[in-house]
A and B are shown apart, each in its own frame.
Chain A
Amino acid sequence: MAKAIYTHACALIFALFLGLSAEVEAQSATALEISGAGADAGPVYLELADLDALPQVTFETSTIWTDGTVTFSGVPLKALLGELSGRNGVVEMVALNDYKVDMPLDRLEDGAPIVATRLNGESMSVRDKGPYWVVFPYDSDTKYQTETTYAWSIWQLNRLKVVD
């Protein structure tokens, strides 16, 4: 399944390369850049529709940044990275404001974190910490309430890079 997704993503990345190469210069807020280590793993840009096409996970939780309980839905990071997630190393996550944090790949779980695309069913604008937000189901387990977890919870996610 993961392999199928990866193949699918690779196909998408190819298409993007062909159609959107002119816009490389401009920083795109809506496209999520994914890149692997090594020469062969060139960056792939995924739009909201691309992400919606991938398997979705939804959970309810409170966060320290929002009021009350909210519902997040989106693509699990592990699924999004596909084969890349199987390596040793870290995934380097960068926000629109260049905030950068590394998360060890072996800490990725099937359902957490997710790259949330919807908050309470609505897509998120940049002003609302969107369009992509890495979140954990904080309420489900205290292990998601550590400083490290909060550091990994990066909003306005813009780029993902798997590093050995």
Chain B
Amino acid sequence: MKTGLNRYRLAIFVGILVLIVLLAAMAANLPSQLRELSRAAEDNLQWSITQIDTEFANLDAAISRQIATQSLPEENIRLRVDIALSRLAIINSGRSAEIFGDSEEARLLIEPINDFADAAIALSDAPGPLAGDALSEMQQLVSDVRPLVRDIALLGVRLGAEQAESRRTQFANQLTRTGGIAMALLVLMAILMIVLDRLLRRADHRDAELSASTKQLASTVTASLDAIVTANESGEIIDFNTSAERVFGWKRDEIVGLTMEDTFIPHRMRDAHHNGMKRYLETGTPRVVDAGRVELAALRKSGEEFPVELNITTTQSGTDTIFIAYIRDISERKINEQKLIDARDRAERADKAKSQFLTVMSHEMRTPLNGILGVLDLLKTTSLSEEQGRYAKIATSSSEVLLEHVNEALDITRIENGRLQLTFQDFDLADLMRGLMDVFVPLAQEKNLTCTLEIDATMRQRFHGDSGRIRQILTNLIGNAIKFTDEGGVHLHVSGINGLKSSSLRFEVRDTGIGIPKDKQDQVFDDFVALANSSGRQSRGDGLGLAISRRIARAMDGDVTLTKSEDTGSTFTLTLSTLSAVPEENTKSEPSDVAPPPVQPRNVLIVEDNSINRSVLNGMLTAMGHDVVEAVNGVECLKKADETVFDVIFMDIGMPVMDGIEATQRLRADRGPNAQTQIIGLTAHGREEFREQAVAAGMNRFHTKPIRLDALRSIFIELASGTPSRLDAEKFPEALTEMIDLLGHAKVRAVADTFFAELKTLIADLGDNAAHSDKTLLAEAVHKAKGAASLLGQTELQAKLGDLEHEARSDALGDLTAWADALVSSAQKAEQSIAKAIPPDSGTT
């Protein structure tokens, strides 16, 4: 815009300049032309030319009179001739010659006239008087030349007039041109004036705008709630608005002219400020300038420092940089922030304290429970009356409930502390669901309920996820559903969407129970909420079950929600996302098929600081026929281990003086007599916390307290059979433990009994080869058994059944009798394992 205007102006100025030069050139030419015209040379010349004719007429007349009268002296005639001849010279010289120029017509006239002149001169200059014949001859010559002289005179007048005319025309043209240029100049000047006028008006307009915006800006600055301080390059304050006066306590008149450094910048920041300004002015690299809002501190006039939010921008005023700082007093906000942070910290501390309390409490409760359960177990080995036996059973059962509550509380804290570990593996969703049904259908039938499963066809495939956790959640949901339903049934619907990489699964557990009142619906997922149902019955396990389920589901990017609850029943929904499974690979696990040898007496060292626990464990082991030595901590353990070789060491993890981990490390490192001894770790803490440490220290097994008589028995059976000395799994598979948690010993016992009965039939059928001509039927039977084995945590059996199923489906079925033998040993081990977890006499209601 501006350059365009400039170019416009340049063009006009150049145009005017050119026109002025042209006009000057034209005008300079005009006077000389004017002078040319004002000269009378031509007029006089023409007069002279016309006079020739007159002279010749006079001469002619004079000669005629002389011939007639002889009255004039002869000299007079000669003079007349000379005068006439002198006129002829004009034709041949000077400006008149220019008039005739190259005219052919003139040449034709001038030649005979010049001939006449020569003849006349000869005659006039001849000796003797000019009279008589000579005079007559002269008269003849003159009368002959007169027409020519007349013609030349007329021609001269004509040519002269023409030339004058042409000169005048030329001059007129020149005048016209000059006038035209002058007009053009005027027009251009006028355009320039218009342009100037426009520029002037625009400048005026801008002036007005600028002044308006300046006023607006000034009022904005004054009215701003933020303090606005303007400073120049040397940090001198050049403006200070009303808010700044209020915030800093300085009056504008006092502070203007002082530097920011000397006034409101805190002493400790002055060097940094000084260097920052210097650096910015030298390098132009901003740090605080144009960096958006920055939180800093400032000083009030009273010397009080307060927090501010600062935003500095720069602007150019001529060559100077002007800094504009927008400053907000945020002391109040900071105070509020601090209050919020304090409140949050308090809340966090309280929450942490709660978790800590739960952890400690559960630990503290486990230790006495250890004693109670151990003593009760021991009590049952003595001879009791029927009534005493019943009391002992009730006491045991109550203690077990209490232990489960403690365990659940521990679960919650573990999940909240982020220690929940997920194990991802490929699994078949349909298998998993059928396994669940195998357990729950008989359970539902007991209450005359139906338990049905519906899986969308698209979901009958393999997924990658933590199937154990999914089963845990569904077990809880279905178990609760059956528990709170008195008639009708429970329905599990599995649906979902298969994605390319991940899939979304949806499990709906619908019951026809009593439902949950609207005002309680939000609470069911809270910790420690047990809703009393109409019958007033309240079972254990629902206190924390839903809360735990929801936490686990959320840990897997899913959720458990109550989607519908009314008088006619509730629907709990589990949603999950899983990865799509990689193609199934068949892994065969080597069966370890060793018959259990009889228990033999062992040398046992108990390292335990709690005297009750120590004596209970001692009592149990002694009752089993083992030799027992006690130590109260790690140091004593090392001392005793130095003297005697032990077969087994029970090592408490947490002990004063030296803990179990360190003692184990030393035993393993010392290469002493007990370097290879089986060490079984015991802890009252949760199941996971010390597992890794125990393995790393060199413990062979790991057990949570309270350790029960059954567990002790199985440990010694396995020791005798030389089974893995590596620490690989809990003695009681987690799946089984969960089932027991949920359903109680008796029901799991019943499920297990059914399972083993069916399994035995299956194995018997296998032995009778011919009975299984239909491979599909066989595969389905094996498949069903596999699902149940999985549910009961019998992984070895499950793996074998899986292999068999795979073979049955793949037409590569080998010798079924060999399979039958292999399954028999696995089934026996599984049965023993279940029997240990659920002693036939420990069933409770």
Contacts and interface: CB of A to CB of B under 8 A. Distances in A.
Report whether chain A binds chain B: yes
Interface of A: 26-27, 29, 63-67, 96-97, 99, 125-129, 142, 145-151, 155-156
* Closest A-B pairs by Cβ, 9 of them: A147-B40, A150-B44, A126-B82, A64-B95, A65-B94, A145-B39, A64-B41, A127-B86, A127-B85
B372 interface: no
Contact of A156 (B73, B83, B121): B83
Given A126-B83, A148-B40, A150-B40, A65 B95 contact: yes
A25 B58 CA distance: 20
A146 B86 contact: no
A125 B48 CA distance: 19
B55 interface: yes
B45 interface: yes
A91 B801 CA distance: 165
6 contacts: A64-B45, A96-B83, A97-B83, A126-B86, A146-B39, A147-B44
A147 B44 CA distance: 7
Given A96-B79, A127-B86, A145-B35, 7 more contacts: A26-B75, A66-B94, A126-B79, A128-B89, A129-B86, A145-B41, A156-B83
Nearest to B88: A127
Interface of B: 35, 38-41, 43-45, 48, 51, 55, 58, 73, 75-76, 79, 82-83, 85-86, 89-90, 93-97, 121
Which of B45, B83, B89, B90 counts the most A-chain CB atoms under 10 A from its CB?
B83
Contact of A67 (B35, B43, B58, B93): B93
Nearest to B97: A67
A65 B94 CA distance: 4
B39 A27 contact: no
Contact of B79 (A29, A99, A146): A29
A27 B83 contact: no
Contacts of A147: 39-40, 43-44
A55 to B, nearest CB: 28
Given A96-B79, A145-B39, A64 B44 contact: yes
B120 to A, nearest CB: 10
A159 B55 CA distance: 19
A52 to B, nearest CB: 22
B77 to A, nearest CB: 11
Contacts of A96: 79, 83
Contacts of B43: 147, 150
Contacts of A125: 82
A65 B89 CA distance: 9
Nearest to A67: B93
Nearest to B95: A64
B121 to A, nearest CB: 8
A150 B41 contact: yes
B76 A129 contact: no
B142 to A, nearest CB: 15
Given A27-B79, A29-B79, A96-B79, A63 B94 contact: yes
Most chain B CB atoms below 10 A, which of A127, A147, A148 = A127
A97 B48 CA distance: 13
B90 A65 contact: yes
B55 A97 contact: yes
Contacts of B82: 29, 125-127
A142 B94 CA distance: 18
A26 B97 contact: no
A97 B94 CA distance: 21
A128 B94 contact: no
Given A67-B97, A156-B86, A97 B40 contact: no
Contacts of B58: 97
Contacts of B86: 126-129, 155-156
B76 A26 contact: yes
Contacts of B48: 65
Contacts of B35: 142, 145
Nearest to B117: A127
A156 B48 CA distance: 13
A99 B44 CA distance: 13
A13 B270 CA distance: 122
A65 B40 CA distance: 13
A120 to B, nearest CB: 13
B280 to A, nearest CB: 78
B164 to A, nearest CB: 13
A156 B44 CA distance: 16
A74 to B, nearest CB: 18
Nearest to A126: B82
B627 to A, nearest CB: 160
Contacts of A127: 82, 85-86, 89, 121
